[in-house]
Chains A and B, each alone.
Chain A
């Protein structure tokens, strides 16, 4: 009796056992480190939770109305939109261009592929510090200012100048450098999947190599890859924190510009603010926005739809 019960529990060929051995740690980690904090955060968002994770002072939707009425938070959403508007097209275009160039190489392709991919292995923190302290520092011996000096231009305090907003140049280029290589590899995989017969047929039909072939063969054939790349880029932009924090924060806080939602919430909930209720409300709002955007985007692009 007992042995049949155990056997049934283990499943045919111990399949249940193996299922849980492989999936168990993952499920456990996901529950412990993702779902429990997520649910707790939703719970906290309905309380006045200053400096506590077990609050007693229920405030209903007050945190939500406070957050939505907070111009610093809504401003951070605008910051995010601006950042996305820069970084997504820029990374898309650069990584596609790199992929097209590397794909045409007849020799040393592996070398260039590795070279362009290499920055992906660099940490955001390290890259941000190099950008901040040696390339784009505001004094005369910074790399960018040295170059400007050759042309007789004045030195620029890249991260501190708000008019014009030079800090965007620093923020966008560091991420561009870090992530373009990764998306280049995705595009390369996409390019190599395009059947050579299509190009042959196009040549027979008299299509000029170059723009015409790219416009009518390569680009449409990359649709699935493009959709995935854009989706990933937008999600990554939403998660932006490291380079912003390391480029712009100092010991006394963070300037009121170029402050994306995660940075603002970090200061509200985890910095000196320790207003965990308000921060959680902001996180829930942000999560809802990300969910809606992702679903709409996936529908729009037809992610997962069968390719014809």
Chain B
């Protein structure tokens, strides 16, 4: 009896919710549409940026487009899931930013080929972030801004312990151990102990890749097991900060002195600078092994056009206008609110803000040591790898055995996606 009553309430609630949603979707975004009356409507989606002013800025750009009535949706929450679901229906966005698109979205025909938009400007886009948006020679999204991650360290804490900024993985492990006291941990790699945020970076630092350029598994190599096995030591020696109130993407643990070193995003730099002044430095993920090199991950949100857009030509024209032609807006978007590297090389090199101090170093890391996640590195491979890395770091599982099973799963995924093309 109690079950069926709950069902009834559930169904009633569902109906009520549908009504509310329908009402919410029908409403306008609050912009006055006077200038754009009678023009075709384009719906554009952004994920919620944390920095104040970004939302107003993108609405301003949209308003300035004269050939369409662009309605911006600013979407908090699980943005990737929201767009993935919305792309299945006609009511989704026309233009949307995407941390991808994924290979399955491209192969499934969910996004439109944007190659011709970039024609004259293609060489000006950072090749590292353009590559994962390119599949079989066609470009599927226009990179908006580049984000990267790096290792922040507290100079005063390192000095107090007589530790040099670590330049190799072994040095990092020793430093983290040395810096750990009763109240302060040596290193913060996220509350999960590292597998989530590090992803392929340690492999890159060992001179390997996730997927090679010819589409083969890039870490079927004894060096991979050796490097990942070392990460276990950080956890086993209790040098890692775990269970901090906010995760790696927020510099709070670092600025509050819970940890002497933290892996975080470039976006955290203004906050760190404000809190610590000059008492910090930045490093890439240190190299490991004879063939290794320092590494940082780079990635870019891109502007894509949905294959279900009402007017694809108009949507493409708008993307070209905003993300290819209007370099003034691109510069404003990248540098004025948050802290990102412009996707255009010409803009990145002339930005004064990106030249001095830690910011300048971060840009250099991204240029010299940046690795983007390959397009062929699908979600299934990523999950298998992340699970294995977690078992290696936390469970002390044998790195060789774990990696063999990841290699098998990745090979199966690569076969699957190649079969489709």
Check if A137 is an interface residue, CB within 8 A of chain B: yes
Instruction: Indicate if the CB atoms of B395 and A162 lie closer than 8 Å.
Output: yes
Name the B residues within 8 Å of A136 (CB-CB): 243
Asked whether A274 and B243 contact (CB < 8 A) given A25-B15, A51-B105, the answer is no
Bound together, the chains give a CA A232 to CA B191 distance in angstroms of: 34
Q: In A216-267, which residues have CB < 8 Å from any B CB?
A: 232, 250-253, 255-257, 267
Instruction: Indicate if the CB atoms of A158 and B15 lie closer than 8 Å.
Output: no
Instruction: Indicate if the CB atoms of B242 and A274 lie closer than 8 Å.
Output: no
Check if B67 is an interface residue, CB within 8 A of chain A: no
Chain B residue with the shortest CB-CB distance to A235: B3
Give a binary string over B94-118; 1 marks a CB under 8 Å from any A CB, 0 the rest. Answer: 0000000010110110100000000
Instruction: Indicate if the CB atoms of B243 and A138 lie closer than 8 Å.
Output: yes
Q: In B287-316, which residues have CB < 8 Å from any A CB?
A: none
Name the A residues within 8 Å of B247 (CB-CB): 250-251
Give a binary string over B232-248; 1 marks a CB under 8 Å from any A CB, 0 the rest. Answer: 00000000011111010
Q: Report the minimal beta-carbon distance from B97 to chain A, rounded to whole angstroms.
A: 16
Name the A residues within 8 Å of B249 (CB-CB): 251
Cβ 8 A contact of B383, one of A52, A157, A273 = A273
Cβ 8 A contact of B245, one of A137, A160, A162 = A137
Bound together, the chains give a CA A161 to CA B193 distance in angstroms of: 9
Name the B residues within 8 Å of A137 (CB-CB): 243-245
Check if A272 is an interface residue, CB within 8 A of chain B: yes
Bound together, the chains give a CA A159 to CA B390 distance in angstroms of: 13
Bound together, the chains give a CA A257 to CA B397 distance in angstroms of: 13
Name the A residues within 8 Å of B81 (CB-CB): 270-271
Check if A30 is an interface residue, CB within 8 A of chain B: yes
Instruction: Indicate if the CB atoms of B258 and A139 lie closer than 8 Å.
Output: yes
Asked whether A252 and B15 contact (CB < 8 A) given A157-B243, A161-B242, the answer is no
Cβ 8 A contact of A163, one of B102, B105, B386, B395 = B395
Instruction: Indicate if the CB atoms of B383 and A267 lie closer than 8 Å.
Output: yes
Give a binary string over B2-25; 1 marks a CB under 8 Å from any A CB, 0 the rest. Answer: 100001100110110000000000
Instruction: Indicate if the CB atoms of B7 and A253 lie closer than 8 Å.
Output: no
Name the B residues within 8 Å of A274 (CB-CB): 84, 102, 104-105, 379
Check if B214 is an interface residue, CB within 8 A of chain A: no
Name the A residues within 8 Å of B390 (CB-CB): 255-257
Check if A36 is an interface residue, CB within 8 A of chain B: no
Interface centre among A157, A159, A275 (most CB of B within 10 A): A157
Interface centre among B199, B245, B249 (most CB of A within 10 A): B245
Check if B332 is an interface residue, CB within 8 A of chain A: no
Name the A residues within 8 Å of B196 (CB-CB): 250-253
Q: Report the minimal beta-carbon distance from A154 to chain B, rounded to whole angstroms.
A: 8
Q: Report the minimal beta-carbon distance from A45 to chain B, rounded to whole angstroms.
A: 17
Check if A50 is an interface residue, CB within 8 A of chain B: yes
Cβ 8 A contact of B84, one of A51, A138, A159 = A51
Cβ 8 A contact of B11, one of A33, A72, A232, A267 = A33
Bound together, the chains give a CA A52 to CA B109 distance in angstroms of: 10
Name the B residues within 8 Å of A282 (CB-CB): none
Check if A29 is an interface residue, CB within 8 A of chain B: yes
Name the A residues within 8 Å of B251 (CB-CB): none
Asked whether A272 and B191 contact (CB < 8 A) given A50-B104, A159-B243, the answer is no
Name the B residues within 8 Å of A25 (CB-CB): 11-12, 15
Bound together, the chains give a CA A250 to CA B192 distance in angstroms of: 8
Bound together, the chains give a CA A50 to CA B7 distance in angstroms of: 30
Check if B261 is an interface residue, CB within 8 A of chain A: no
Name the B residues within 8 Å of A159 (CB-CB): 191, 242-243
Asked whether A250 and B190 contact (CB < 8 A) given A51-B84, A157-B242, the answer is yes
Instruction: Indicate if the CB atoms of B244 and A256 lie closer than 8 Å.
Output: no
Instruction: Indicate if the CB atoms of B88 and A250 lie closer than 8 Å.
Output: no
Chain A residue with the shortest CB-CB distance to B84: A274
Cβ 8 A contact of A26, one of B2, B11, B84, B110 = B11
Check if B197 is an interface residue, CB within 8 A of chain A: yes
Name the B residues within 8 Å of A157 (CB-CB): 191, 242-243
Bound together, the chains give a CA A72 to CA B385 distance in angstroms of: 12
Check if A53 is an interface residue, CB within 8 A of chain B: yes
Give a binary string over B45-60; 1 marks a CB under 8 Å from any A CB, 0 the rest. Answer: 0000000000000000
Check if B66 is an interface residue, CB within 8 A of chain A: no
Name the A residues within 8 Å of B387 (CB-CB): 72, 255-256
Chain A residue with the shortest CB-CB distance to B106: A51
Name the B residues within 8 Å of A160 (CB-CB): 191-193, 242-243, 394
Bound together, the chains give a CA A161 to CA B191 distance in angstroms of: 10
Check if A140 is an interface residue, CB within 8 A of chain B: yes
**23 A-B interface contacts by CB (under 8 A):** A25-B11, A26-B12, A33-B11, A51-B88, A51-B102, A51-B105, A51-B108, A72-B387, A136-B243, A138-B241, A142-B243, A160-B193, A160-B242, A160-B394, A250-B196, A252-B190, A252-B192, A256-B391, A271-B379, A272-B382, A273-B383, A274-B102, A275-B380
Q: Closest 10 CB pairs between A and B?
A: A138-B243, A29-B11, A252-B196, A157-B242, A160-B242, A256-B387, A157-B243, A272-B379, A51-B108, A50-B104
Chain A residues with a Cβ under 8 A of chain B: 25-26, 29-30, 33-34, 50-53, 72, 133-134, 136-140, 142, 157-163, 232, 250-253, 255-257, 267, 270-275
| New A-B contacts (4) at CB < 8 Å, excluding given A25-B12, A34-B7, A136-B243 | A50-B107, A157-B243, A160-B193, A275-B380
Chain B residues with a Cβ under 8 A of chain A: 2, 7-8, 11-12, 14-15, 80-81, 84-85, 87-88, 102, 104-105, 107-108, 110, 183, 190-193, 195-197, 199, 241-245, 247, 249, 253, 258, 379-380, 382-383, 386-387, 390-391, 394-395
